[in-house]
C-alpha cells in the first residue's frame, strides 16, 4: 500500500507485477527517464519513448491486483513543454506494452491516464484481460489495442477513453502484410464503455487480417462517437472476416451505430508508385443491438 514514484518497469518471463489494494504506482513524465526505443505503433515499428510498463519476448507473466497504475501527464500532453518542437509529441510512449509474449494475465487493477495508447498487445498469444478499470483522457489514448495477436479473452472490463475503447489491429500496409500474423480468436465479454471515440474499432491498421472475433454482452453507458467502426484504405490490404456481435446496449451511439470507412486517412495524390490492395470484409454478423439514440444507423 502507499504511493510509489517510479520510472519504466520491465517484466521478464514468469514475473507478475502485483498491485496490492491501496497501492498507487505513479510514473514520472520526464522524457529523460524513458529513452527512445523501437516500439510498435500505428501498424509499424517506430521510435517512441520507452513504455511505462513493458514485457518483451516473455511468457507466463502479467499484472494483477487491485491497486492503481497512473502517471504524471503534464509534460507528455503539453505542447508548451516541447518548446515549439511539436514533432516530439509523436514520440509519447504507450502505458502498457506486451510485445511477443505468451500466456499473459492482466487482472483486477485500475489505470488512470496514459501518455498515449493505454494497453497494447503486439504479436502475443494466449492473453487473458479481465476486471480492469481503465480511463485515459489525453491524445490518442486508446483503451486496449489488440494487434497481430491470437487467443485473447477480454472480459468484465470498464473503459473511459478519449479515443477508441477496444480496437483490433494487424499491421500497416506492406509492412503488416510482411509480418503476416493475423489478429484472431478474440472473445470480448461483459465490457462497459462509458465514453470513447469508438466502442469497437477494426483497423485502420489491419493489413495481416482480423478474423474470428466474438463480442457479446457489452454496453455503452454514456456517449461514443461510433459503436462499430471498420476503418481501412486502398493501401491496407488484409481482411476482416468472421466477426460475431451479440447483445449490445448503447445509451448514445453518437454519429454512427455501424460505420465502414474504406478511405481512412487516404490521399490519392500521395500514393504514386505504391501498391493499392483492397481490404476484403466478409461474414460480419451483428444482432440484438439496442441503441437509445444515434445520428445514423
Per-residue tens of pLDDT for the chain, all 297 residues:
999 999 999 999 999 999 999 999 999 999 999 999 999 999 999 999 999 999 999 999 999 999 999 999 999 998 877 766 777 778 999 999 999 999 999 999 999 999 999 999 999 999 999 999 999 999 999 999 999 999 999 999 999 999 999 999 999 999 999 999 999 999 999 999 999 999 999 999 999 999 999 999 999 999 999 999 999 999 999 999 999 999 999 999 999 999 999 999 999 888 888 889 999 999 999 999 999 999 998
* Strand partners of residue 224: 196
Burial (CB count <10 Å: 0-12, 13-18, 19+), residue 72? middle
Query: Cell numbers 499473459 correspond to what residue?
Result: 104
Peptide bond into 64 cis (omega under 30): no
Measure the CA–CA gap between 125 and 233, rounded to whole angstroms: 27
Measure the CA–CA gap between 144 and 132, rounded to whole angstroms: 11
Q: Does the predicted model carry a pTM greater than 0.95?
A: yes
Amino acid at each position: 500500500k502507499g504511493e510509489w514514484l517510479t520510472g519504466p518497469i520491465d517484466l521478464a518471463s514468469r514475473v507478475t507485477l502485483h498491485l496490492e489494494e491501496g497501492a498507487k504506482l505513479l510514473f514520472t513524465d520526464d522524457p529523460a527517464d524513458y529513452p527512445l526505443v523501437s516500439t510498435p505503433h500505428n501498424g509499424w515499428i517506430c521510435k517512441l519513448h520507452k513504455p511505462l510498463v513493458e514485457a518483451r519476448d516473455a511468457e507466463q507473466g502479467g499484472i494483477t491486483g487491485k491497486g492503481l497504475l497512473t502517471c504524471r501527464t503534464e509534460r507528455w500532453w503539453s505542447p508548451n513543454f516541447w518548446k515549439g518542437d511539436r514533432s516530439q509529441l509523436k514520440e509519447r510512449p504507450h502505458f502498457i506494452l506486451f510485445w511477443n509474449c505468451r500466456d499473459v494475465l492482466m487482472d483486477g487493477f485500475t489505470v488512470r491516464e496514459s501518455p498515449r495508447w493505454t494497453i497494447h498487445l503486439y504479436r502475443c498469444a494466449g492473453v487473458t484481460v479481465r476486471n480492469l478499470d481503465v480511463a485515459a483522457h489525453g491524445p490518442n489514448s486508446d483503451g486496449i489495442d489488440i494487434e497481430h495477436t491470437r487467443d485473447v479473452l477480454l472480459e468484465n472490463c470498464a473503459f473511459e477513453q478519449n479515443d477508441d475503447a477496444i480496437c483490433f489491429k494487424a499491421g500497416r500496409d506492406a509492412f503488416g502484410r510482411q509480418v503476416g500474423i493475423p489478429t484472431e480468436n478474440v472473445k470480448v465479454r461483459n465490457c462497459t464503455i462509458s465514453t470513447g471515440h469508438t466502442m469497437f474499432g477494426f483497423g485502420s491498421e489491419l493489413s495481416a487480417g482480423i478474423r474470428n472475433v466474438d463480442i457479446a454482452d457489452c454496453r455503452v453507458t454514456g456517449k461514443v462517437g461510433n459503436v462499430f467502426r471498420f476503418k481501412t484504405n486502398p493501401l491496407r490490404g488484409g481482411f476482416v472476416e468472421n466477426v460475431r456481435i451479440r447483445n449490445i446496449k448503447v445509451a448514445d451511439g453518437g454519429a454512427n451505430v455501424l460505420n465502414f470507412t474504406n478511405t481512412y486517412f487516404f490521399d490519392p495524390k500521395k500514393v504514386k508508385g505504391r501498391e493499392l490492395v483492397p481490404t476484403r470484409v466478409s461474414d460480419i454478423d451483428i444482432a440484438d443491438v439496442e441503441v437509445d439514440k444515434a445520428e445514423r444507423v
